[in-house]
Amino acid sequence: NAGVMQNPRHLVRRRGQEARLRCSPMKGHSHVYWYRQLPEEGLKFMVYLQKENIIDESGMPKERFSAEFPKEGPSILRIQQVVRGDSAAYFCASSPNLAGVTDTQYFGPGTRLTVL
């Protein structure tokens, strides 16, 4: 059973370009979380999605950032018009999220975004 997959692992963008980060959850997992981690800092929640539905996006900046988790294919975190402050590691995590039970989330390897 493959773990959570993320690609690309490293992404370099110039200011003003767009960044697309992809996350494929573990098999059987229908819920995805995205986090941002700055160097030597903790994990900051951004958004929580299930298939075709955003559950909670309270941690995601209102401008330039968007996320989706379509019925088919990976979850995508999209950052438009990137700025240097967007440079960070972006992790996704997936969980099966069975009804009524908080389930463990498993993390992907992360995408390290560098904005020049």
Partner 1 sequence: GENVEQHPSTLSVQEGDSAVIKCTYSDSASNYFPWYKQELGKRPQLIIDIRSNVGEKKDQRIAVTLNKTAKHFSLHITETQPEDSAVYFCAAHSNTGNQFYFGTGTSLTVIP
Within positions 54 to 83, which residues make up the interface with partner 1, using CB under 8 A?
Answer: 55-56, 58-59
Residues 68, 75 contacting (CB under 8 angstroms): yes
User: What is the DSSP secondary structure assignment for residue 52, as one 8-state letter?
Assistant: T
Q: How many CA atoms lie within 13 A of 62 on its CB side?
A: 0
- Quote the DSSP letter at residue 17: -
- Whether the CB-CB separation of 25 and 75 falls below 8 Å is answered with yes
Tell me: does residue 116 bind partner 1 (CB under 8 A): no
Number of amino acids touching partner 1 (CB under 8 A): 22
Residue 39 is a binding residue for partner 1 (CB under 8 A): no
Q: Is 104 in the site for partner 1 (CB under 8 A)?
A: yes
Among 41, 78, 80, 98, binds partner 1 (CB under 8 A): 41
Which of 23, 45, 22, 48 has its CA nearest to residue 35?
Answer: 45
Asked if 110 touches partner 1 (CB under 8 A), the answer is yes
Residues at the interface with partner 1 (CB under 8 A) = 33, 41-45, 48, 55-56, 58-59, 91, 100-102, 104-110
